[in-house]
Structure 1
Amino acid sequence: MPPVTAVQRPVPLPASSSAAVARVVPRNEPPASESVIATPVTLRHVQFEQSSYVLLPESFPELDKLVERLRQQAHWRIEVMGHTDNVGDPRLNQVLSEYRAKVVMNYLIRHGIADDRIEANGYGGSRPIAGNDTEDGRSRNRRVEFILK
């Protein structure tokens, strides 16, 4: 992962990513020579229609918390990362993951976050966090994350 300019204090990730959004606390003015590899935060409650990039309404509260945190930390830059499982055509999964990341990015922009603070990338099924041999594992791999840049 590329180094980021914002520096995080070590904070254990809670079970809920909503709490993680509220607890990521970088220093206000990181030294220019210091860089840290940040840990991705999974937006666990960001959901889409199946095999689609249509954002479901139950995603809005978690995204609104992220918007608020980004407003509070005006120096933060983030990468929004879309991921899929490995079921189906890898090329279609890649495109789906890109569109999902862009939908989240557009939500943030529509709610007042400057577009130059957000990068959106899709990784398809190339970065699994669980095995793809069970439905539980596949569902964990279908996710949207962000990382401080």
Structure 2
Amino acid sequence: MDIQPVRIQLGEVELEEDLSIEQMSYLRNWLSENGFELLDDRKMVLVEKVKNLVIETVHGADKIDLTIKLSYLIQQKLSIDYNYISSLFSTIEGITIEQYIILQRVERAKEFLAYNELTLSEIAHRLGYSSVQYLSTQFKKATGFTPTHFKSIKENARKPLDQL
């Protein structure tokens, strides 16, 4: 089955033309066999766009200024009222966008700690935290460990981004 994408980016594929029912079925099966799913529901697509934007922002912290409020960035990029997006996200995901952002930032902090190349102060700065104490507080609340204790654990329990 020949399906040619025009553009591919995290969570999205743009095609030149609409797919036939047969092609759509093939694509749905192929994605499922490879651990993915095709989202048809507009609300689910919107939530995935929010998640992708958060992931791109937090995990691309060297490229994007984290002092910009993510709520503003989400509303600006998606051109939809933030209160609506926030309510929809909470309903579908069972957590707020803010909680999801914290989970992503903590996961990124875990990554930095595992590499052992940056100080806590540098990690806090890269992730847009106002202080090491604020990072440590959120980290402990999310993981049950202080960053220092987490760093000392041999097998750092990191989670895949799609399981946050």
Give the TM-score, by structure 2 length.
0.28
| Structure number with bigger Rg | 2
Of Structure 1 and Structure 2, the greater helix share is in 2
Of Structure 1 and Structure 2, the greater strand share is in 1
Give the TM-score, by structure 1 length.
0.30
